[in-house]
A and B are shown apart, each in its own frame.
Chain A
Amino acid sequence: MNKPLSKAIAEQVEIIAEHARREGLDFYPTIFEMLTAEQMSEFAAYGGFPKRYPHWRFGMSFEKLRKQHKYGLGKIYEMVINNNPCYAYLLNDNLLVDHKTVIAHVYGHCDFFKNNYWFSQTNRRMMDEMANHATRIRRFSERHGLERVERYIDTILSLENLIDPHSVFMRRDHEDALPGQAISKDPSAPTRYPAKSYMDRYINPPDQMSSERAENKDRQAKAQVSFPSSPVRDILLFLIQNAPLEDWEADILAMIREEAYYFAPQGQTKIMNEGWASYWHSTIMTNYVLQDHEVVDYCDHHSGTLATSPGQLNPYKLGIELLRDIEFRWNTGRYGPEFDACEDMEARRHWGKEKAPKHRVVGQDSPGRRKIYEVRALYNDVNFLDEYLTPEFVDQQKLYHYRQDPQTGRMVVVNRDFETIKRQMLFMLTNHAQPFLYVLDGNYRNRGELYLGHRHTGADLEIKYAVATLKELHRIWKRPVHLHARIDDDHILFSYDGEQSTQQHIDENIDKPSHMV
């Protein structure tokens, strides 16, 4: 479909890959393709994949992107797909120096995809998988009608964020109990610790055992009445297993859930991923491949990418600065109890300066580099900021906390307090800024009604959207659906029974679900 890369660019790909490897980056084979602006908009609308299922939403983003490009409001420099092999796209009207920057940047991403723990459970054959989804959904559209399938996908997409990004790392009891799987264990058996026979009655005392068994039985009896047995955060899975869906509907739901899980780690590691890639494009470009005559263009585009406008944090900038800060701190030994306890500002400022490497560091040849390689393998945005954001860094980067002034309606700087800023940043990142919702009862009031709960973590749900989304949920569940949410410190039950939406204040007279948030 696309022309092969020109010789000059293919050469650069080889050279930059070589430098990246020398610096210790470890990536899947990476295939670069050259696209026109129009194609780039198309690929971007499809989330980077050449084949997606038919849906108007992609057409909408296509129109937005194309318009953006046309009016010069935004240009997509690079796009890279987490896949094995990685696919990356270059924009054909870029300068060679841009291509070089993008290639180096892409190798940063590819390394991150391959080595970051949060990506470890993603499907590395997603390119094929997406194409399969496209084929299957097309087939459903032919059989059941395009409009019907599209309308159904609309519904699923409005529930798409109701997944549990951590669940891919856990085994859950409802997964163990998939139909067809025999449960071999005695369900009420108490926890027994392995012990030699003569020690058994001390390590596993019989009276303790019997009381635990009774307790377990009790809990199970309760669990049998309550359904699900504990609050469920992976609401999409709950729907697949329990909603009255036709086969094709369940299949589409499962596919879109799979795609949501595939994209989740990218949302969880935005700052780190972009920071890491920017760190490497900057390192590789300035240390190896930048030519004298390209410096101005490189600087212009590099600073454009890292520019921060007021009122908005740029993940590229935040990520690269924080990584550099970590590298610096570990090179100079500015961590650990001794440093933390030091209150002499002057001493802190000059701490370990003599230890900083005097020569150019290649690969993991310094404590700082080793540390950031470790960080890129283990962290996601939330614990990255939680652990490595320091008051010095906040001060140096001139971060501030802003909010709307209730009088003027304008956004104003509130303060530069470290704790507030950190709390605010973590809040913005937790759960990818999505609210936490749980299935609290799948058989509410013993009438097969669905009861969801919102775990309030500081911000209220948007009521208008919540009501509209409940209606969509009802199309799947087909029995009345309820949502318990806290709005202005008041507990409200939003319900939709297929005909009308109601809101009521939750008090003693309202039946309780099986679980509470």
Chain B
Amino acid sequence: MVLPINNDHQRFRKIVKGKIRDDLRKFLTRGELIGREGKKYISIPVSGIDSPHFRYGDNNDGGVGKGDGQPGDTVGQPGDQGPGGEQEGKHILEVDISLDELADILGEDLQLPRIQPKGKHSITSERDRYTGIRQTGPESLRHFKRTFRRALRRQIMTGQYNPDRPKIYFERRDKIYRSWKTVLSPQSNAVIIYMMDVSGSMGDEQKELVRLEAFWIDAWLRRNYQGIESRYIVHDVRAGEVDRETFFHIREDGGTRISSAYKLAHEVISRAYSPSEWNVYLFHFSDGDNSSESDSRECCSLLTEQLVPALNMFGYCQVASAYGSGNFINVLHEHMAKEEAVITSRVNTKDDIYDSLKTFFTPGR
């Protein structure tokens, strides 16, 4: 039954999404959303949805409470209340919204085109789903409840059932088994490989920027692909693959040799992600302070010859740092200008994330 409230509820959701869209820049810079990653829904505090009223401020004279206590004792928070209470809550509303919806809002607001997966719709995955029942099958798939019911029915009908000593025996004809159907679903897979420079010049502030940017990249790509994997690579002069947790918290210092990471990325791709089956996304975050000119040149040749042909996109994101030249982005501009799949952006503060995301995903690859 469709409840009449559904229309009003839809309207409300629409207004909430509008609010989130209005404040999207603010949300893009909020670190606390990220902590909830992995859950399907996240709660977003949305303010200013209720209509304003003429009302009293909070500067009044306290209130009246009930219970023990001497003057000067602390009273419990007025927020928590008994079940009988009917006080109006705070004026900030927490709204549950799914990550997909959030990504849609992001896409709409940044006017991002939906990503067209490379022509691989033919890839299908097989999954078994238990949808029906049948009379034969392995004992491990016996549907106990149905079998029991049939046996019970049979015994009652034949008069064998004794309510005082209810013992139910299964016969072969009682037995019911689960049966499955194989579902084929077209799938476009994608892998995101994040690489980060963890040399001494990358501080906590820079890493926070990377974290935020990576979260939103993740959200958007996840919206566009059914199956997505993430790999994480950190590097200073050497590169190594790490898990997500380490990626964002590792502390290293030392110099920078970017080519090391690119080599490792190439290795990872050729080992596990054949370009004919996978949409591969490579993102590199660095402060752009590479150790030598020659290494930068090596990076460029690695990119053109090995990486770019296998990729949907290579995104290079340079965060501002107090140290170093930050020259790598210029090198890329110089040598990779004609490569469409290479996109660069600079993120100096949290506010730049918005534009950076827009730069990365506007081509729609």
Contacts and interface: CB of A to CB of B under 8 A. Distances in A.
Which of B70, B74, B96 has the most chain A CB atoms inside 10 A of its CB?
Answer: B74
B64 interface: yes
Interface string A108-144: 0000000000000000000000000000000000000
Contacts of A274: 84
A449 interface: no
B49 interface: yes
Nearest to B43: A67
Contact of A59 (B12, B52, B64, B67): B12
Contacts of B51: 57, 154-155, 157-158, 472
Which of B10, B15, B57, B59 has the most chain A CB atoms inside 10 A of its CB?
Answer: B57
Given A402-B63, A404-B62, A465 B52 contact: yes
Contact of A424 (B3, B54, B63, B95): B63
B4 to A, nearest CB: 7
Interface in B65-112: 65-78, 80-87, 89, 93, 95-96
Interface in B1-36: 3-5, 7-15
B74 A412 contact: yes
A437 B54 CA distance: 9
A54 B8 contact: yes
A279 B10 CA distance: 40
A425 B66 contact: no
B55 interface: yes
B68 A398 contact: yes
A411 interface: yes
B83 A75 contact: yes
A435 interface: yes
Range for the number of chain A residues in contact with chain B: 35 or more
Given A308-B82, A309-B80, A412-B72, A161 B54 contact: yes
B236 to A, nearest CB: 46
A317 B67 CA distance: 13
Contacts of A463: 57
A411 B56 contact: no
B199 to A, nearest CB: 44
B305 interface: no
B61 A413 contact: no
A434 interface: yes
Contact of A402 (B14, B75, B82): B75
Contacts of B77: 311, 411
A415 B4 contact: no
A428 B49 contact: no
B52 A158 contact: yes
Contacts, number: 212
Main secondary structure of the interface of B (DSSP, over half): loop
A469 B93 CA distance: 19
A56 to B, nearest CB: 4
Contacts of B63: 311-313, 401-403, 424, 428
Which of A55, A162, A465 has the most chain B CB atoms inside 10 A of its CB?
Answer: A465
Interface string A50-77: 1100111111101110010000001100
Contacts of B13: 59
A307 interface: yes
A75 B82 CA distance: 11
A316 B78 CA distance: 17
Contacts of A160: 53
Given A158-B51, A466-B54, A39 B3 contact: yes
Interface stretch (A14-22, A242-250, A290-298, A453-461): A453-461
A75 to B, nearest CB: 7
A60 B76 CA distance: 28
A459 B83 CA distance: 29
A276 to B, nearest CB: 14
Which of B10, B65, B69 has the most chain A CB atoms inside 10 A of its CB?
Answer: B65
B54 A313 contact: no
A238 interface: no
A423 to B, nearest CB: 9
A399 interface: yes
B85 A309 contact: yes
Contacts of B122: none
B60 interface: yes
A467 to B, nearest CB: 8
Given A158-B52, A461-B55, A403 B61 contact: yes
B82 A307 contact: yes
Interface string B233-256: 000000000000000000000000
Given A161-B53, A311-B75, A469-B53, A62 B8 contact: yes
Given A310-B66, A399-B66, A462 B87 contact: no
Interface in A217-234: none
A400 interface: yes
B58 interface: yes
Contacts of B80: 309
Contacts of B74: 410-413
Contacts of A427: 60-61
Contact of B56 (A162, A309, A460): A460
A501 B83 CA distance: 41
Contact of A459 (B14, B52, B60, B96): B60
A413 B72 contact: yes
A454 B57 CA distance: 13
A81 B57 CA distance: 32
Contacts of B64: 313, 399-402, 421, 424-425, 428
Nearest to A307: B82
A312 B78 contact: yes
B55 A56 contact: no
A468 interface: yes
A472 B66 contact: no
B73 A314 contact: no
B56 A461 contact: yes
14 contacts: A62-B5, A274-B84, A309-B82, A402-B64, A410-B75, A411-B76, A413-B69, A413-B74, A427-B60, A428-B64, A459-B60, A460-B59, A465-B54, A469-B52
In the A-B complex, the 5 residue pairs with the closest CB atoms: A403-B62, A59-B12, A59-B8, A468-B52, A310-B76
Given A75-B83, A411-B62, 16 more contacts: A45-B5, A55-B8, A56-B11, A57-B51, A62-B5, A63-B95, A308-B82, A309-B81, A398-B68, A400-B69, A402-B65, A411-B75, A412-B71, A415-B71, A461-B55, A465-B54
